Structure 1
Amino acid sequence: MPARPTFPDHRATVPGLLAHGRDNFAESECVVTPEERLSYSELESQSAVLAGRLVACGVGKGSRVGLLFPNGARWVLAWAAAARLGAVVIPVNTFYQAPELARFLHHSDVQYLLGVEAFLHHDYLDRLESAVPGLKSSEAPPLHLESLPQLRRVLLWDEPERPWAEGGLGAALEGPTQPSELAAVVQGMGEEVAPGDEALVTYTSGSTGEAKGVVHSHGALVRHARNLAALSNIDHTSRIWTPMPLCWVGGFAFTLLRALSVGGCFVTQEVFEAGAALRLLERERVTTVSAWPALGQTLIAHPDYPKVDLSALRGGSMYEAFPSDRRPPDPGLVVSSLGMSETCGPHTFWTPGEEVTGSPEAYRGSFGHEVPGTEHRIVDPDTGVDVPEGDEGEVLVRGYNLMLGLYKRERSEVFDASGWYHTGDRGYFRDGWFFFTGRMSDLIKTSGSNVAPGEVEAALLGFDEVKLAFVVGVEHPQRGQDVVALVVPQPGPADLTPDDLRRRLRDQLSSYKIPRQVFFVADADVPWLVSQKVDRRALAAMAAEMVVAEGPT
């Protein structure tokens, strides 16, 4: 692991990143989907046109711009257009149901919402009208809503079917040439963007059930992407595929920005389907897979897997698909990495050679070394005192890639007096190698997504037939954890079934938050501590036994 970080040789801002791509990799592909191809020169020029449209609508430096797009060129262009103006980009989770969307829009203070009308079975116009009281009866923008006072405009890629929305973002790319005066304004606004300016607010579940907005600067995003590219041997010849949503750090910072930082190609799909993904990996000669282990196993288990040519693979975690000369002899010895939204992705990482050759047996299960430019402490969570090397404690982190803070939270609420962020993760270092041992909170990590038990419990308790509800994570070999609910029904006759609850939750929660299994338990069987708090460890053990008895889904 190098002692010093690798940072870009251009200005560490999104406008600087776009100009670097145009000047050095103009005709190279930067974004590819099954239906789209976008070069670096097209990304720079088309995002400038879109930026001009945004300026004409009132977007300026510091404006809060939400993105409601699936993965693909539209997401990337809209992000680049807003970010190059110095606007703060706030990705919207495409899985959000109306109650989640309402909470998100209220907390994030989105002023300009860019997106599509619908995606898969999600009708976003109907969902917005359900989430925002008064929107349905609104006329032409700008909007002035008592229920959402910050929102001014909803700008859609295509022509809208509602008077309160504006359309034609996509048509702007095919229209007449942008006036030179507007192009000059866009260029000038980009030159005013500084590395320390806010660039992104990404939302992630907190342990209390309330989503938190993680604020990152241009400098942190652009520098960390370049540093991670160097650590993982990503360069201009790399073609990185991911199914991870761009609304999360794993898809955006760790994959898209890592590719853009060195002139590589970002390959993705709007919807993950294993057979289509395998065909895309073969067609595009993908070199690196960036995905959760469970998705890699899904690809390998697909009947088309033996038929496709994946010989271009040289990086990522799908070791079984590597050519034999690049495959680690024991994948269990290959170290991993640990990251989070608050650090733009990984803050511990593995060295490139270890990705192929493995590490000593003594370090099986390690999450690598600390990323150059970051610092760690392992402390006793009760006293805050550093523990001896090799002892487990809470992980503290700080460095160039650490967030500016949490939206609407004071700095003293987020960082300690010395600037350390207390992650809530447990672990230890041994001879410079980091080992992760778990979370200090009840947060559930399922297939790379954070699920706060309190949020799911609140949704279950919203049903009249539910007296008590407890949500825990149960270990799963591929997904990490599964969301499992233990429910005490209200007394009296009822025809309520677990499937009924799961079906009704679909209108309240994103699909990944819905419990895979729901078990009914008696009131007397709920384990309580002497403090009159529920015994979460006993609940988790009870749920695990029930999953084993019934069989996992």
Structure 2
Amino acid sequence: MTTGLRSVAAALGVAAEVAADDLAVVVGDRELTHAQLHERAARLAGALAGRGIGPGDVVAVGLHNGAEYLETVLAAFRLGAVPVNVNYRYREPELRYALEYTSAAALVVDESLADVARAVVADLPGVRVLLQVGTEAYASAVAGPALPADDAERGDGIILLTGGTTGRPKGVVWDRDGLLGILSSVFRLHGIPAPTSLAEVAAGVTELGRRGDRPVVVPMSPMMHGTGFFNAMRTLLGGGTVCFATSRSLDAHEVWGIVARRRATEMVIVGDAFGRPLVDALADAEQAGTPYDIGCLRRITSSGVTWSVAVKRELLARGAMTLVDNISASEGGPFGISEVSRVEDLAEGRFTLASVARVLDEEDRDVVPGSGQVGVLASAGPQPVGYLGDPVRTARTWRVIDGVRHAVPGDLATVEADGRLVLLGRGDGVVNTGGEKVFPEEVEQALLAHPAITDAVVVGVPDPRWGQIVTALVAPRAALQGLTDAELTAHLGERLARYKHPRRLVRVDEVPRTTAGKANRARAREIATGQPFTVESGHVRAFARALGDAGPGIPPTFPIAFAHVDEDWPLVMRPGRPWHGSGAGPGESRGSGGLHAEQEFTYHRPLGEGETLTAHKRAGRTWTKAGRSGVLTFTERHIDFLDAQQQPVVRSTTVTVTTAPTQTPASEEAP
């Protein structure tokens, strides 16, 4: 055994030798020891080598979580090739771009991506090998001759494709040292220094076994994302066991069954997106009188997404575990960390700077705690080489500061006087409203303090007066429909300055998130702006009117327009026939802030027996209400403003109202 780590394959191989007969991966009832997993990987490497794949080649992995993902990655390492993650949800243009961008020479997929892969690879001569898991070809590959291990010094690691602001993924290149720097956390967590030689890897795995600290991990995050990948591979480096669920989507009861049956010590989740269903499953089992035994669970980790105090509280109430909330990025880290083991220590959004992290001002100086300065997060922890094929962006993201290379991906933060780190989000996601900058994550954390709001995403929506207005998508719709916007935001008064409060709430069944659980702000913005807005001008009273002559009564179908409201500038709107209007304001108000309105429209056309009125805002989103007098009443809130010439300009929403016989008992559904 030589000194030096030589390669990622060599380090993982030594760990497997020490833990050879211990379980490496479990998927349902299927079990593979470390020796068996590495043997299959060696045979797969032999098959790939036989088809021309070798050192430096890129092997794309488009697989769901499972043993095949691990053995494909290990096979690539053994070849001296570079594995790259490919999203199994890709369509043809997306897969084509990923393969061309990374110059992939081989692609391993399962059935979910197989048809798309065949269509794309047919036109890409650079992809020399396409192998599908579950076929005879794959079975032959892992049963054929093994590729012998070698002693070559190799600095290659992985390419990690991560979401880009342009909609196209960017490749983050991790070499051997950066990758092993992350994976070695399996030792550092237990007070064992990160190994610098293969002998030290063997000693570390041996010591973890002696202490009974080899991890048994349930990685629920997809392996195609950094959090899932790094945690699974660090588990193998520590001689531990990776336990995968069999279901392709989250089955919380299956997960808890795995924890109890396999005596899992760690779990990797995606914030509330996974945490809340897990808590609900625990409660269901308890109510059924069959609670899960999760006393073995020591640690639950999440990274980069919202993990609320409410969900953490439910988890801590059920076991002696530590909850670890990390601020990290594909570009490096850690930047901040929140570790809590007791309910009484929970605090909303409380992070502390990681030991290798700083918050820097525009001059690359540390911001002063309590000063209110906003700076960028920087970390001197394990780092990649840079972005694939993009030296300009690489130079901008990884900078030498005070003689030390730091990752500075652009996350904004400030430090409170007590040392609390407040994450404010990426600079390109900041909402600029009337010249004030609002950071979405800060508002989201504050919204989640309301007991009825289980998830929230904040975006900026274009506005002619303010530039952007703060808009929040909140869930779940069913629990929020009986609460007004004022009730859902009243608690923000003691948490956030008024300009940070959402001017508009959009109630949704589910907040849009990526497969990694991160806020899908592009989709959220589409939802927030997808209502059929029109812009008109003229005297403000003219906007609350029928968009056609409806006559003295209400016809079966007709459009109506509403002005919007800002509670700071109430205005009574009295629409003309055939409605009467009333509002909560003192009358028309003018001022530098603009013209605003809050109105409640009551439709007085008597309904026929068995009829209701239904207002259709857009397909699938309706309000229905039948009153004793056959009257439909609801309040609509939007926004209006003054243009540069101080003339009222109103953005209005067109709503179609129809009459129809009552089919079911009346109900009211929020938009």
Q: Structure 2 length as normaliser, TM-score?
A: 0.56
Question: Cα–Cα, structure 1 residues 278 and 114, in superposed 2: closer, same or farther, change >3 Å?
Answer: same
What residue in structure 1 maps to residue 413 of structure 2? Answer: 427
Residue identity matched to 1:192: A
TM superposition shift of 1:61: 1.4
Question: Cα–Cα, structure 1 residues 417 and 97, in superposed 2: closer, same or farther, change >3 Å?
Answer: same
What residue in structure 2 maps to residue 520 of structure 1? Answer: 531
Q: 1:79-112 CA distances to partner (integer Å, 9 max, x unpaired)?
A: 0000122211111111222332222222222111
1:240 aligns with 2:217: yes
Task: Supply the distance in 1 between the matched residues of 2:277 and 2:238 (Cα, whole angstroms).
Answer: 29
Instruction: Map 1:92-241; keep pairs closer than 5 Å.
Output: 92-116=86-110, 118-119=111-112, 124-130=113-119, 132=120, 135=121, 138=122, 145=123, 148-159=124-135, 168-175=137-144, 178=145, 183=147, 186-188=148-150, 191-194=151-154, 197-227=155-185, 230-231=188-189, 236-241=213-218
Matching residue within 425, 428, 437 for 2:424:
437
Give the number of the structure with larger relative contact order, counting CA–CA contacts within 8 Å between residues 6 or more apart: 1
TM superposition shift of 1:385: 5.0
Matching residue within 351, 361, 376 for 1:395:
376
Residue identity matched to 2:337: F
What residue in structure 1 maps to residue 340 of structure 2? Answer: 355
Question: Cα–Cα, structure 1 residues 22 and 125, in superposed 2: closer, same or farther, change >3 Å?
Answer: closer
Q: Tell whether the 8 Å contact from 2:380 to 2:407 is kept in structure 1 after alignment.
A: no
Task: Supply the distance in 2 between the matched residues of 1:529 and 1:112 (Cα, whole angstroms).
Answer: 59
Structure showing greater Rg: 2
Task: Supply the distance in 2 between the matched residues of 1:528 and 1:397 (Cα, whole angstroms).
Answer: 41
TM superposition shift of 1:311: 2.0
Q: Tell whether the 8 Å contact from 2:300 to 2:321 is kept in structure 1 after alignment.
A: no
Task: Supply the distance in 2 between the matched residues of 1:529 and 1:203 (Cα, whole angstroms).
Answer: 46
TM superposition shift of 1:401: 1.1
Q: Tell whether the 8 Å contact from 2:367 to 2:414 is kept in structure 1 after alignment.
A: no
Task: Supply the distance in 2 between the matched residues of 1:408 and 1:437 (Cα, whole angstroms).
Answer: 29
Task: Supply the distance in 2 between the matched residues of 1:473 and 1:439 (Cα, whole angstroms).
Answer: 17
1:338 aligns with 2:338: no
Q: Secondary structure at the match of 1:401?
A: coil
Matching residue within 77, 84, 100 for 1:83:
77
Task: Supply the distance in 1 between the matched residues of 2:268 and 2:47 (Cα, whole angstroms).
Answer: 33
Q: Tell whether the 8 Å contact from 2:295 to 2:320 is kept in structure 1 after alignment.
A: no
Question: Cα–Cα, structure 1 residues 277 and 357, in superposed 2: closer, same or farther, change >3 Å?
Answer: closer
Q: Tell whether the 8 Å contact from 2:359 to 2:377 is kept in structure 1 after alignment.
A: yes
Matching residue within 265, 270, 280 for 1:292:
270
Q: 1:278-313 CA distances to partner (integer Å, 9 max, x unpaired)?
A: 222222122222102321210221364322222212
1:314 aligns with 2:298: yes
Q: 1:49-103 CA distances to partner (integer Å, 9 max, x unpaired)?
A: 1111111111111101101111010000000000122211111111222332222
Task: Supply the distance in 1 between the matched residues of 2:7 and 2:336 (Cα, whole angstroms).
Answer: 24
Question: Cα–Cα, structure 1 residues 73 and 251, in superposed 2: closer, same or farther, change >3 Å?
Answer: same
TM superposition shift of 1:417: 5.5
Residue identity matched to 1:60: G
Task: Supply the distance in 2 between the matched residues of 1:127 and 1:529 (Cα, whole angstroms).
Answer: 52
Task: Supply the distance in 2 between the matched residues of 1:472 and 1:215 (Cα, whole angstroms).
Answer: 36
Q: 1:169-202 CA distances to partner (integer Å, 9 max, x unpaired)?
A: 3323334xx2xxx64xx412xx2243xx231111
Residue identity matched to 1:522: F
Q: Secondary structure at the match of 1:441?
A: helix
What residue in structure 2 maps to residue 461 of structure 1? Answer: none
Residue identity matched to 2:389: K
Task: Supply the distance in 2 between the matched residues of 1:340 and 1:453 (Cα, whole angstroms).
Answer: 21
Question: Cα–Cα, structure 1 residues 471 and 153, in superposed 2: closer, same or farther, change >3 Å?
Answer: farther
Task: Looking at secondary structure, tell me which structure has more helix per residue.
Answer: 1
Aligned length: 433
What residue in structure 1 maps to residue 253 of structure 2? Answer: 275
Question: Cα–Cα, structure 1 residues 173 and 127, in superposed 2: closer, same or farther, change >3 Å?
Answer: closer
What residue in structure 2 maps to residue 376 of structure 1? Answer: 358
Task: Supply the distance in 2 between the matched residues of 1:528 and 1:65 (Cα, whole angstroms).
Answer: 55
Task: Supply the distance in 1 between the matched residues of 2:334 and 2:409 (Cα, whole angstroms).
Answer: 13
What residue in structure 1 maps to residue 40 of structure 2? Answer: 46
What residue in structure 2 maps to residue 367 of structure 1? Answer: 351
Task: Supply the distance in 2 between the matched residues of 1:15 and 1:304 (Cα, whole angstroms).
Answer: 44
Q: Secondary structure at the match of 2:410?
A: strand
Question: Cα–Cα, structure 1 residues 550 and 60, in superposed 2: closer, same or farther, change >3 Å?
Answer: farther
What residue in structure 2 maps to residue 412 of structure 1? Answer: 395
What residue in structure 2 maps to residue 305 of structure 1? Answer: 285
Task: Supply the distance in 1 between the matched residues of 2:263 and 2:471 (Cα, whole angstroms).
Answer: 37
Task: Supply the distance in 1 between the matched residues of 2:89 and 2:132 (Cα, whole angstroms).
Answer: 18
TM superposition shift of 1:216: 0.7
TM superposition shift of 1:551: 5.0
Q: Tell whether the 8 Å contact from 1:207 to 1:442 is kept in structure 2 after alignment.
A: no
Question: Cα–Cα, structure 1 residues 530 and 261, in superposed 2: closer, same or farther, change >3 Å?
Answer: farther
Question: Cα–Cα, structure 1 residues 53 and 276, in superposed 2: closer, same or farther, change >3 Å?
Answer: same
Q: Tell whether the 8 Å contact from 1:66 to 1:89 is kept in structure 2 after alignment.
A: yes
Question: Cα–Cα, structure 1 residues 428 and 198, in superposed 2: closer, same or farther, change >3 Å?
Answer: farther
Task: Supply the distance in 1 between the matched residues of 2:12 and 2:49 (Cα, whole angstroms).
Answer: 18
Task: Supply the distance in 1 between the matched residues of 2:643 and 2:90 (Cα, whole angstroms).
Answer: 38
What residue in structure 2 maps to residue 546 of structure 1? Answer: none
Q: Tell whether the 8 Å contact from 1:33 to 1:269 is kept in structure 2 after alignment.
A: yes
Q: Secondary structure at the match of 2:382?
A: coil
Question: Cα–Cα, structure 1 residues 77 and 151, in superposed 2: closer, same or farther, change >3 Å?
Answer: same
Task: Supply the distance in 1 between the matched residues of 2:642 and 2:104 (Cα, whole angstroms).
Answer: 42
Residue identity matched to 2:129: R
Task: Supply the distance in 1 between the matched residues of 2:268 and 2:326 (Cα, whole angstroms).
Answer: 12
Task: Supply the distance in 1 between the matched residues of 2:642 and 2:224 (Cα, whole angstroms).
Answer: 39
Residue identity matched to 1:388: V
Question: Cα–Cα, structure 1 residues 92 and 528, in superposed 2: closer, same or farther, change >3 Å?
Answer: farther
Question: Cα–Cα, structure 1 residues 475 and 264, in superposed 2: closer, same or farther, change >3 Å?
Answer: farther
Task: Supply the distance in 2 between the matched residues of 1:473 and 1:149 (Cα, whole angstroms).
Answer: 47
| Unmatched tracts of structure 1, length 5 or more | 1-8, 139-144, 160-166, 329-333, 458-469, 479-501, 532-538, 543-548
Q: Tell whether the 8 Å contact from 2:374 to 2:413 is kept in structure 1 after alignment.
A: yes
| Unmatched tracts of structure 2, length 5 or more | 193-207, 302-311, 431-439, 445-456, 463-467, 477-509, 536-637, 645-650, 654-667
What residue in structure 1 maps to residue 241 of structure 2? Answer: 265
Q: Tell whether the 8 Å contact from 2:334 to 2:357 is kept in structure 1 after alignment.
A: no
Query: Alignment identity in percent?
Result: 23
Instruction: Map 1:469-480; keep pairs closer than 5 Å.
Output: 474=472, 476=474
1:31 aligns with 2:25: yes
